[in-house]
Structure 1
Amino acid sequence: MSDEVNSPSPSRRSVLGWGGAGLALGAAAAGGAAVVLGRDEDPEPAASGGAAVPFHGPHQAGIATAVPDRLHFAAFDVTTGDRAELVQLLKDWTAAAARLTAGRAVGEGAYGGLPEAPPDDTGEALGLKPSRLTLTVGFGPSLFDGRFGLKDRRPAALVDLPTFPGDNLDPARSGGDLCVQACSDDPQVAVHAIRNLARIGFGKVAVRWSQLGFGKTSSTTPDTQTPRNLFGFKDGTRNIAGTDAASLDQHVWASAKDGCTWMAGGSYLVARRIRMNIETWDRTSLQEQEDVFGRDKGEGAAVGRSTEHEEPLLKAMLPTSHVRLAHPDSHSGARMLRRGYSFTDGTDGLGRLDAGLFFLAYQRDARDAFIPVQRTLARSDALNEYIQHVGSAHFAVPPGVRDADDWWGRALFTQPRES
């Protein structure tokens, strides 16, 4: 971040202010998450340039925007019961996010302020470029439990996800009142963003769980080569492009016609932590691996095809192949925008890698997309022998911040209630 990050905009807060009493991010460092904001229709900037993604726009960045290489995702529990404090937190987070995504420090920066007070910014991103940082915020079902007068504001689409066959969900890695998705080409920039939002929220929120991710496993620029997951396969070739406005409107962006006006321009995020049985997979024959996915491992082409982007011949695949079961044609055209990342969180104490896929999918309504697709996969997918879903969450991601006077979730708290 440049020296201008220590400029006095906005004005100095009270002595403790955003810095508060510092929040230890042990939980976040163990595997965190963050949210992204910006104009989703922008083309992908050159990663090497460390470009900034615009923060303001009709949709939050980090959904249809090009997918950077690194992720820090964090879910938070709201610890205050005061609605006014929650609103002020969202305003403070928004102001900080606008600076962070522009490559500037929080508040007055990491140095030069009052010696008696903690700095406004933790400082580890000083001298670093924005690196396409996006921050995206979402609201979980538990935020609408009545504590903040929001019970009748919960969108019908924000359902509690069902338990699917084979799930082995850890409550400590599931749920959350709020989430923040931070994506960047520089892992330190992403972690810095989550760390500082957590510090700002000290006394109002606490990190519930978090996840670090690397090696994007899907792309919103499908004209480029599809990334590979930790099983070595290309997956998600038919992802929705960030430039496909018609598909985004049909499958990703919520509309006032859906019955919740404050969510118009937003989306619904499903986050799933999927553990991969790496050691078992690595002892499986190549033929079986390709049969499980329904793809050639080298090129990534579907069975009977020669290139990865050719339309797959579903009937040429085994009935249990992952591609066949997950394909939109198997679900009346249901589609999601996927932004998954690989993760490796050490070992499990038995010498096995704690590794897998942190699945992130945005959709207009999970009842029409993720839920029916996952029901089919959980029942019949041959890949189930090698994976297990261990974490789960569902969030309503509000529309973007349109200008400097706007803030995350403003319509939720200020729009008149629908009759």
Structure 2
Amino acid sequence: MGLAVGAGAAGLAIGGGAGIAGGVALGRARERRTADAVASGDGIHQPGITTPVQDHLHFAAFDMMARTTRDDVASLLQDWTYAANRMMQGLEVSATGAVGGSPEAPPDDTGEALGLPASNLTITFGFGPSLFDERFGLAAQRPAGLERLPAFLGDDLDPERSDGDLCIQACADDPQVAVHAIRNLSRIAFGRARIRWSQLGFGRTSKTTSDQATPRNLFGFKDGTANILADDAAALDENVWVSASEGPAWLAGGSYLVARRIAMLIETWDRVRLSEQDRIVGRDKARGAPLSGGDEFTAPDFAATDGSGTPRIDARSHVRLAHPDQNGGIRILRRGYNFVDGNTDLGRLNAGLFFLSFQRSPDRYITVQRALATDAMAEYIRHVGSGLWAVPPAPAAGQSIGAGLLGA
């Protein structure tokens, strides 16, 4: 499902979502334009949630500039909507683009994606808790659960790599296409919003369709085996989508996005014996099967014991503590990515997991994360960045993202 997902110049909607459609003022003339819907469909959900997970990510959190107004927020979202719709079709952000305008004026498009296909680009927008403070008159429409995430045991958060008024998740099979999307949306925001922090990701750590192979994270284990899949409508309704009765009308059909930047102590992990790695995770590293037996997709049996009566899956293993059976049946839809951001001052890889999840309410994520307080894996990871955003549904044709909130 989704607003629109480009697949080459033709532009296809994955799962039958409607295209982003709205007006935008771009370029020196600031001409008002209207985008046509890319495809028809149910028009409920943004792309980049149940869309087949792409290979690369560029994620950015934005803050509105000082002295901006509610009208500035609305106009920015209109401009972003139009540009995103074009880029997801493999088009430049405006008709004049990178080279078709006046040679005496800055181009409308930065040009580094010229000649490249859309590469299944999806662009997903979210609204942070801080957008609903006193600046823009939106406090009355803030969902009750949209608060900064609470502190969790073991957090070592960098405030400069956490939170944000707005967020954009750009995913594509070509990293340059994803970077091009964020670069141009940031350029369009000039004078109204600025990037607070951003993150590049590679090597998806989840899957959202049954025909995708389960990927591996930087610890070498298969990740996302039990993720919610796009064709499981019942699970999505139960766990991911906000219902009309759960919050303000503008969020019905949307979701909540959690982002956590998790540093992985790679060099320490690499010195752990294989059997201990398996015990910590609760799965066999080679096949991804639970240590209670079976194959990768066999349900873990937490009551299974070995000949000495010891549980085959350790009580502090990651698989056990995160499993729905231990958390009231809660499931979340994961779309995380690996990252390597150079090295630390100690000469170690600055690497880890950029965890992304979508859930029906923030409480669902909070419950699972608190359950991981005694996770044996905690010795090898550090949560260093964090954020929560409400992800509105797809706009109707002719409207911009967040139209239900801002009336734009």
TM-score (normalised: structure 1) = 0.86
Q: Distance in 2 between matches of 1:260 and 1:125?
A: 38
Structure 1 residue 54, shift from structure 2 partner? 8.5
Letter in 2 for 1:249: D
- Counterpart CA distance in 1 for 2:204 and 2:279 is 23
Contact 1:53/1:132 (CA < 8 Å) preserved in 2? no
Distance 1:142 1:178, change over 3 A: same
Residue 114 of structure 1 and its aligned partner are, at CA, apart by: 1.1
- State the alpha-carbon separation in 1 of the partners of residues 40 and 120 from structure 2: 9
Alpha-carbon distance between aligned partners in 2 of 1:272 and 1:322, rounded to the nearest angstrom: 17
Give the letter for the 2:369 counterpart. Q
Matches within 5 A, 1:111-150: 111-150=99-138
Query: 5+ residue gaps in structure 1?
Result: 3-8, 19-38, 40-51
Contact 1:338–1:362, Cα closer than 8 Å, also in 2: yes
Match of 2:68 in 1: 81
Q: 2:233 aligns with which of 211, 236, 245?
A: 245
Query: Does the C-alpha gap of structure 1 residues 374 and 355 become closer, same or farther in structure 2, counting only changes over 3 Å?
Result: same
Is 154-163 or 138-147 further displaced after alignment?
A: 154-163
Equivalent residue number for residue 390 of structure 2 = 396
Distance 2:320 2:197 in 1: 33
The 3 A distance-change label for structure 1 pair 376 and 327 is same
CA distance in 1, matches of 2:150, 2:231: 32
Q: Give me the whole-angstrom Cα distance separating, in 1, the residues matched to 2:101 and 2:377.
A: 55
CA distance in 2, matches of 1:255, 1:392: 25
Q: Distance in 2 between matches of 1:131 and 1:363?
A: 26
Q: Structure 2 counterpart of 1:73, which letter?
A: F
Which amino acid in structure 2 is aligned with residue 97 of structure 1?
A: A
Give the AA of the match of 1:131. S
1:325–1:376 Cα contact (<8 Å) kept? yes
Unaligned runs of 5+ in 2: 1-7, 10-21, 32-36, 304-311
**Structure-1 separation of matches of 2:24 and 2:208:** 38
Pairwise CA RMSD: 2.2
TM-score normalised by the chain length of structure 2: 0.88
Distance 1:10 1:413 in 2: 14
State the Cα distance separating 1:117 from its structure 2 match. 1.1
**Stretches (4+) displaced over 2 A:** 9-18, 52-57, 222-225
String of CA shifts for 1:58-89, please: whole Å, max 9, x gaps: 10000011100000000000004211111011
How far apart are 1:239 and its partner, in Å? 0.5
Alignment of 1:306-317 (within 5 A): 306-315=294-303, 316-317=312-313
Paired residues, what number?
Answer: 375
Structure 1 position 364 matched with structure 2 position 360: yes
SS of the residue corresponding to residue 152 of structure 1 reads: helix
Could you tell me how far 1:292 is from its partner in structure 2? 0.3
Q: Secondary structure at the match of 2:61?
A: strand
Deviations 1:287-329 (A, max 9, x none): 1100000000000000122310111112331100000000000
What's 2:407 paired with? Answer: 414
Rounded Cα–Cα distance in structure 2 between residues aligned with 1:342 and 1:57: 31
**What one-letter code is carried by the residue in structure 1 that aligns with 2:132?**
F
Residue from 59, 83, 106 that aligns with 2:45: 59
Distance 1:252 1:53 in 2: 23
Instruction: Give the match's secondary structure for 1:284.
Output: coil
Which amino acid is the alignment partner of residue 253 of structure 2? G
TM-aligned CA deviation for residue 389 of structure 1: 0.2
Contact 1:267 1:398 in 2 (8 A): yes
1: CA distance between counterparts of 2:165 and 2:157? 17
Q: C-alpha offsets along residues 123-174 of structure 1, whole Å, 9 cap, x if unaligned? A: 0001000100000000000000111100111001212210001000000100
Give 1:127-276 correspondences, 5 Å limit: 127-276=115-264
Cα gap change, 1:56 to 1:62, in 2 (>3 Å): farther
Contact residue 24 and residue 81 of structure 2 kept, 8 A: no
CA distance in 1, matches of 2:346, 2:286: 31
SS at match of 2:123: strand
Could you tell me the percent identity over the aligned residues?
58
Shift of 1:202: 0.2
- 1:226 to partner: Cα distance: 1.0
Q: Which residue of 1 aligns with 2:374?
A: 380
Question: Offset at 1:225?
Answer: 2.5
Q: Using the alignment, how far apart are the partners of 2:26 and 2:158 within structure 1?
A: 39
